[in-house]
């Protein structure tokens, strides 16, 4: 028999009265299996001798009413609540650092309603995005949200990190993809934002919960935008002479009113290491993959207009192959043995978004801070620019150390030093970290540095909504 | 053997979430400890000496049907199902198998099958006849749960005028013991069955049980058990499709099946690649090929019966079956045809607990309706 505590048994009894005993899990198997996300530090924690945080219980509600009752109970008894969707984040956002209960939303996976006139889908927050997309596709629709964790993460998780998919240059971030949110607040009350977000009936309060990572409540349902499956979707590859030319070409495409669904510009290092392997491209430069979708005539016209801009920038047309191959195999690099996380390497992403006037400088300074600042560890830095707007863009850098100190404390300290150096380089040059991976524990300690005194506003909102600080403590720099 | 043989898979899968969406058991329970990643994490902890075979961990390893959909879904087809099979070897070696699993294994070892009182065997042919053209190997679960399938095979063989026989004291192939983690005992059972087959000297073996087919075609080689030379092993769907193609079997009329779908048994489809023969047979008998379920072919979801989970954990097995059946009901299917006695059993149990107006039948039963 598994060991259990008096406290766990009390939670099982009390929460069992709300959801039924079979949906309260306190056993070792599930607690261990849920313990890791994909952040390097949690993986490092788990497989070294550091104490690893564990919840007291995991509860699986099936509807908003149950979530509300669970949160009321926890608020009354000051039990920390950690909302969890896929648990596949990159920053320790679902790690129960102060214990408490995990509210696992994956049983809340129903598509409540599809409105084919207004093109909306009302969906429970625990649905895995792939399942939602499959059901939409069967009816001829799509949500056009294709992040790396498409097969495993949930709608609520994407909303709570304000995530971004690979087609975001046209379809936006999660905040652009949702009309209405339903949220269980920290006192158990259910808040539903207005049916549309484009109003002037006071502020759009739903914005509070995009990217709040469960610190202000639990997202339980969303009214999402959907689109008809595109008549045509094309992808193309180009090789640009260097990064500066690539960024400028991308900027010109975006400010000219073109609307690529995909635009990915790989830096020289990424181009050399990844594109050669995947596409057999030997030349120096920076590869750009670009895609358009929608009505055939518009797709063809946009492609022709983009071709002119890219040709003017000195781009070489690589044809359809690289873009098509990338799209069809876009998840392949996340499987072992290709995924970085399959190796005992130290890695982190510090995705940064900034206006065009700063973006290249931020990239160069961040790269210098990592590669030169940590030369003794052969630190590597590479990036791609993958989410483009008409005012700026986001680059997705990865730092990588294939060797680091054997001593666990020294290794963790080194990780934090590199992260600090990278984030500082971004902040000092006008960048914002992170663009779409969320803050979690990874950058929680940096929030006041990122926001300055202005962060008092966030703390005031947190105290007003969550008086007992039960919601996902330790995250977003909002206190333990 | 055990964890030692799967360390590379553990190291890879313990960090990877990508196949979670596909696992039929996870979809039925929503527990991460039912996913390959969960299994790999638990095994990594046990291998590192940081965890032991607690009751909950052992239970999870006996709540997987080893259907192989995780391996199929994986971009690199890591052998994720082996995480569970090899862990069970380790659990058995450590003497930690749950009581119900030990009881099931004991029945297989002592009687050759797990059903008390022995399989109910309708007389479908002259049992024990040597040198027959066809040895029909029913499989223990067909005998125990699906006598109508056996009767259908008997009627078909009679209609064909086939030179056929069955075994007098049919024992399992050893696959059930293998899947439960009793590898040595499985090999012993396989050898004994091989000897019986050799003594009967049939030209062909026909079975309606994909698990048995997989054991003869794949497992025996792995266990070092050599089948008698020259004996061809076929699934009944392959055999019947062949007879229709040859003109030896001519359907008389069409059965009224309504909207028909085919459920691919995991071992027949995903493991052995037999996708077309059952569909061709349904087309020949019913007049049209079956509709495809949303998850079909190599991506077909499991019915929950695999690796005798319907014995070792009938509750989880039924949850998985209900999900699969609900998918067919959603498609408006009137008749769900399958080609595995275990699939028929579990999908039938799932249907029995609902208002769904859906019939679940075996390919042999379908064929026998229009002899």
ipTM value for the complex: 0.94
Q: Do B17 and A86 touch (CB under 8 A)?
A: yes
Q: Would you say residue B120 has pLDDT above 70?
A: no
Assigned CATH class of B250-368 = alpha beta
Tokens of B115: 């059903």
Verify that A223 and A238 share a domain, yes or no. no
- The whole-chain average pLDDT of chain A stands at 94
Q: Do A60 and B51 touch (CB under 8 A)?
A: no
Q: Once rounded to an integer, what is the mean pLDDT over residues A361-375?
A: 98
Per-residue model confidence as pLDDT tens digits over A137-180? 999 999 999 999 999 999 999 999 999 999 999 999 999 999 99
Q: Would you say residue A112 has pLDDT above 80?
A: yes
A272: left (phi over 0), alpha (psi -120 to 50) or beta: alpha
Verify that A312 and A366 share a domain, yes or no. no
Q: Do B55 and A152 touch (CB under 8 A)?
A: no
Q: Once rounded to an integer, what is the mean pLDDT over residues B3-17?
A: 95
Q: Do A151 and B21 touch (CB under 8 A)?
A: yes
Give the separation between CA B359 and CA B351, rounded to whole angstroms. Answer: 8
pLDDT score, position B165 = 95
Verify that A220 and A242 share a domain, yes or no. no
Kindly identify which residue of chain A lies nearest to residue B39, measuring between CA atoms.
A33
pLDDT score, position B190 = 98
Instruction: Give a yes or no: residue A46 inside a domain.
Output: yes
Q: Is A94 within 8 Å of A58 (Cβ atoms)?
A: no
Tokens of A11: 């939670």
Rg of chain A taking only CA atoms, in angstroms: 23
State the pTM of this model. 0.96
C-alpha dihedral over A419, A151, A260, A333, to 10 degrees?
A: 60
pLDDT score, position B116 = 63
What architecture is domain B134-245?
3-Layer(aba) Sandwich (3.40)
Structural domain ending residue among the three candidates A301, A330, A359 = A330
Q: Is B164 within 8 Å of B133 (Cβ atoms)?
A: yes
pLDDT top residue among B123 and A353: A353
Coil, helix or strand at residue B137? strand
Q: Is A213 within 8 Å of A476 (Cβ atoms)?
A: yes
- On the 0-12 / 13-18 / 19+ scale of CB atoms within 10 A, B108 is buried
Of residues A150, A135, A154, the one with CA closest to residue A218: A154
**Residue A337 distance to chain B (closest CA, Å):** 7
Containing structural domain, residue A369 = 340-442
Q: Determine phi and psi for A155, rounding to 5 degrees.
A: -55, -45
Chain A residues whose beta carbon lies within 8 Å of the beta carbon of residue B75:
329, 331-332, 335
Q: Do B57 and A342 touch (CB under 8 A)?
A: no
Q: Do A33 and B31 touch (CB under 8 A)?
A: yes
Q: How confident is the model at residue B356 (pLDDT cuts 50, 70, 90)?
A: confident
- Range in A97-101, A278-282, B49-53 with the lowest mean pLDDT: A278-282
Helix (H) or strand (E) holding A174: helix A174-177
CB of A138 within 8 Å of a chain B CB? The answer is yes
Q: Is B86 within 8 Å of B3 (Cβ atoms)?
A: yes
pLDDT score, position B335 = 97
Verify that A297 and A356 share a domain, yes or no. no
Question: Considering CB atoms only, which of B33, B44, B75 is closest to A335?
Answer: B75
Q: Is A473 within 8 Å of A80 (Cβ atoms)?
A: yes
Q: Would you say residue B121 has pLDDT above 60?
A: no
Give the separation between CA B109 and CA B111, rounded to whole angstroms. Answer: 6
Structural domain ending residue among the three candidates A171, A196, A228 = A228
Q: Which domain CATH number covers A172?
A: 3.30.465.10
Verify that A130 and A40 share a domain, yes or no. no
Give the separation between CA B159 and CA B166, rounded to whole angstroms. Answer: 17
Q: Do A336 and B76 touch (CB under 8 A)?
A: yes
Structural domain ending residue among the three candidates A71, A104, A137 = A104
Coil, helix or strand at residue B64? coil
Look at chain A and count its residues: 480
Q: Determine the distance from the C-alpha atom of residue A460 to the mean position of all C-alpha atoms in its chain, rounded to a whole number.
A: 25
pLDDT score, position A93 = 95
Chain A residues whose beta carbon lies within 8 Å of the beta carbon of residue B44:
47
- The whole-chain average pLDDT of chain B stands at 95
Concatenated DSSP letters for A183-236? EE-TTSPEEE--S-SS--SS--GGGGGTT-TTSS-EEEEEEEE-EEPPSEEEEE
pLDDT score, position A129 = 98
Per-residue model confidence as pLDDT tens digits over A168-217? 999 999 999 999 999 999 999 999 999 999 999 999 999 999 999 999 99
Q: Determine phi and psi for B148, rounding to 5 degrees.
A: -70, -30
Per-residue model confidence as pLDDT tens digits over A3-40? 678 888 899 999 999 999 999 999 999 999 998 999 99
Q: Is A78 within 8 Å of A471 (Cβ atoms)?
A: no
Give the separation between CA A328 and CA A146, rounded to whole angstroms. Answer: 12
Verify that A274 and A322 share a domain, yes or no. yes
Question: Considering CB atoms only, which of B12, B54, B57 is closest to A337?
Answer: B12
Distances B291 to A476, B298, B336, B341 between C-alpha atoms, Å: 50, 15, 10, 21
- Residues of A numbered 25-44 whose beta carbons fall under 8 angstroms of chain B's beta carbons: which are they? 25, 27-30, 32-36, 38, 43
User: According to CATH, where is 3.40.50 located in chain B?
Assistant: 134-245, 250-368
- Which ranges of chain B does DSSP label H, i.e. alpha helix? 7-13, 24-29, 36-47, 55-61, 69-73, 81-93, 99-111, 140-145, 147-160, 175-180, 183-200, 210-214, 220-223, 236-246, 276-286, 309-312, 314-330, 341-352, 363-368
Coil, helix or strand at residue A399? strand
Q: Do A131 and B31 touch (CB under 8 A)?
A: no
Q: Would you say residue B171 has pLDDT above 60?
A: yes
Per-residue model confidence as pLDDT tens digits over A417-438? 999 999 999 999 999 998 888 8
Give the separation between CA A190 and CA A61, rounded to whole angstroms. Answer: 15
C-alpha dihedral over A323, A329, A332, A333, to 10 degrees?
A: 0
Per-residue model confidence as pLDDT tens digits over A260-279? 999 999 999 989 876 677 66
Q: A267: cis peptide before it, omega within 30°?
A: no
- Best mutation site among A3, A4, A23, A32 for testing chain B: the one with the most B CBs within 10 Å? A32
Residues 6+ apart with CB under 8 A from A464: none
Instruction: Give a yes or no: residue A335 inside a domain.
Output: no
Give the separation between CA A423 and CA A269, rounded to whole angstroms. Answer: 20
**Residue A335 distance to chain B (closest CA, Å):** 7
Query: Strand A346-349 vs strand A392-401: parallel, antiparallel, or unpaired?
Result: antiparallel
Bridge partners (DSSP) of residue A222 are A123, A181
- Best mutation site among A335, A341, A343, A347 for testing chain B: the one with the most B CBs within 10 Å? A335
CB atoms within 10 A of CB B100: 13
Helix (H) or strand (E) holding A101: strand A101-104
> What percentage of chain A exceeds 90 in pLDDT?
86
Q: Which domain CATH number covers A405?
A: 3.30.300.330
Q: Do B32 and A131 touch (CB under 8 A)?
A: no
pLDDT score, position B83 = 97
Q: Is A19 within 8 Å of A66 (Cβ atoms)?
A: yes
Instruction: Give a yes or no: residue A347 inside a domain.
Output: yes
What are the residues of chain B with a beta carbon less than 8 Å away from any beta carbon of chain A? 11-22, 30-33, 35, 37-39, 41-42, 44-45, 48, 51, 54-57, 59-60, 74-76, 78, 294
Tokens of A98: 């102060």
Coil, helix or strand at residue A175? helix
Q: Once rounded to an integer, what is the mean pLDDT over residues A274-293?
A: 84
Per-residue model confidence as pLDDT tens digits over B194-253? 999 999 999 999 999 999 999 999 999 999 999 999 999 999 999 999 999 999 999 998
How many domains does the structure of chain A reveal?
4
Q: Once rounded to an integer, what is the mean pLDDT over residues A249-258?
A: 98
Q: Do A335 and B13 touch (CB under 8 A)?
A: no
Of residues A113, A20, A12, the one with CA closest to residue A57: A12
Q: How confident is the model at residue B153 (pLDDT cuts 50, 70, 90)?
A: very high
Per-residue model confidence as pLDDT tens digits over A83-103? 999 999 999 999 999 999 999
């Amino acid at each position: 028999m598994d060991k259990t505590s008096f406290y766990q048994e009390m939670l099982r009894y009390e929460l069992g009265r709300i959801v039924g005993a079979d949906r309260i899990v306190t056993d070792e198997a599930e607690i261990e299996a849920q313990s890791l996300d994909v952040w390097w530090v949690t993986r490092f924690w788990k497989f070294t001798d550091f104490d690893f945080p564990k919840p007291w219980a995991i509860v699986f509600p099936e509807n908003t009413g149950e979530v509300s009752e669970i949160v009321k109970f926890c608020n009354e008894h000051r039990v920390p609540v950690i909302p969890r969707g896929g648990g596949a984040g990159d920053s320790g956002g679902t790690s129960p650092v102060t214990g408490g209960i995990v509210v696992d939303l994956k049983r809340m996976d129903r598509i409540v309603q599809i409105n084919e006139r207004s093109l909306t889908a009302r969906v429970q927050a625990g649905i895995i995005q792939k399942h939602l997309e499959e059901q939409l596709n069967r009816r001829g629709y799509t949500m056009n949200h294709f992040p790396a964790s498409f097969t495993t993460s949930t709608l609520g998780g994407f909303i709570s990190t304000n995530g971004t998919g690979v087609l975001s240059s046209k379809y936006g971030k999660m905040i652009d993809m949702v009309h209405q949110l339903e949220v269980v607040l920290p006192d158990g009350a259910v808040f539903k934002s207005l049916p549309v977000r484009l109003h002037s009936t006071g502020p759009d309060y739903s914005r509070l919960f995009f990217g709040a990572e469960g610190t202000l409540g639990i997202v339980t349902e969303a009214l999402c935008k959907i689109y008809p499956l595109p008549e045509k979707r094309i992808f193309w590859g180009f090789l640009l002479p260097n990064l500066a030319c690539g960024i400028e070409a991308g900027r010109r495409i975006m400010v000219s009113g073109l609307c690529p669904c995909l635009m990915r510009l790989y830096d020289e290092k990424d181009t050399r290491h990844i594109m050669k392997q995947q596409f057999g491209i030997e030349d120096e430069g920076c590869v750009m993959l670009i895609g358009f979708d929608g009505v055939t005539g518009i797709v063809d016209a946009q492609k022709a207009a983009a071709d002119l801009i890219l040709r003017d920038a000195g781009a070489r047309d690589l044809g359809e192959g690289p873009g098509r191959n990338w799209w069809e195999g876009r998840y392949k690099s996340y499987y072992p043995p290709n995924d970085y996380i399959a190796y005992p390497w130290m890695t982190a992403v510090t995705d940064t978004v900034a206006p065009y006037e700063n973006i290249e400088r931020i990239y160069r300074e961040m790269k210098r801070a990592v590669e030169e600042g940590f030369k003794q560890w052969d630190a590597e830095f590479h990036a791609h620019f993958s989410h483009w707007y008409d005012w700026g863009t986001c680059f997705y850098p990865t730092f990588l150390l294939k060797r680091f100190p054997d001593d666990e404390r020294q290794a963790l300290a080194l990780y934090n030093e590199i992260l600090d150096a990278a984030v500082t380089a971004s902040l000092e040059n006008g960048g914002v970290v992170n663009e779409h991976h969320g803050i979690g524990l990874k950058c929680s300690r940096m929030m006041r540095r990122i926001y300055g005194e202005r962060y008092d506003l966030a703390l005031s909102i947190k105290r007003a909504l969550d008086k007992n600080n039960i919601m996902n403590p330790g995250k977003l720099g909002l206190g333990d | 053997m055990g964890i030692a043989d799967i360390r590379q898979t553990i190291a890879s899968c313990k960090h990877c979430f990508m196949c979670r969406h596909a696992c039929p058991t996870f979809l039925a329970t929503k527990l991460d400890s039912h996913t390959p990643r969960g299994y790999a994490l638990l095994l990594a902890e046990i291998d590192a000496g940081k965890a032991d075979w607690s009751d909950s961990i052992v239970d999870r390893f006996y709540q997987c049907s080893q259907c192989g959909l995780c391996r199929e879904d994986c971009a690199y087809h890591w052998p994720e199902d082996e995480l569970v099979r090899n862990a069970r070897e380790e659990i058995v070696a450590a003497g930690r198998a749950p009581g119900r699993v030990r009881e099931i294994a004991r029945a297989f070892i002592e009687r050759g099958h797990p059903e008390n009182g022995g399989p109910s065997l309708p007389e479908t042919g002259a049992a024990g006849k040597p040198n027959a053209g066809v040895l029909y190997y029913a499989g223990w679960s067909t005998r125990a749960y699906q006598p109508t399938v056996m009767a259908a095979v008997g009627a078909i063989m009679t209609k064909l005028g086939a030179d056929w026989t069955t075994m007098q004291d049919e024992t399992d192939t050893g696959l059930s013991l293998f899947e439960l983690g009793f590898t040595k005992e499985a090999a012993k059972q396989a050898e004994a069955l091989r000897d019986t087959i050799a003594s009967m000297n049939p030209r062909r073996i026909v079975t309606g049980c994909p698990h048995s087919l997989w054991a003869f075609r794949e497992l025996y080689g792995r266990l070092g058990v050599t089948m008698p030379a020259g004996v061809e092993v076929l699934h009944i769907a392959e055999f019947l499709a062949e007879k229709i193609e040859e003109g030896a079997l001519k359907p008389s009329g069409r059965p009224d099946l309504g909207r028909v779908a085919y459920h691919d048994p995991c071992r027949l489809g995903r493991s052995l690649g037999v996708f077309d023969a059952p569909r061709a047979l349904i087309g020949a008998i019913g007049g049209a090929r079956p509709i495809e379920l949303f998850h079909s072919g190599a991506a077909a979801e499991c019915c929950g019966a695999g690796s005798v989970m319907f014995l070792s954990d009938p509750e989880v097995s039924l949850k998985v079956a209900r999900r699969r059946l609900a998918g067919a009901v959603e498609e408006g299917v009137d008749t769900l045809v399958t080609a595995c006695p275990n699939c028929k059993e579990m999908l039938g149990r799932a249907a029995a607990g609902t208002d769904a107006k859906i019939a679940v039948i075996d390919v042999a039963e379908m064929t026998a309706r229009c002899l």
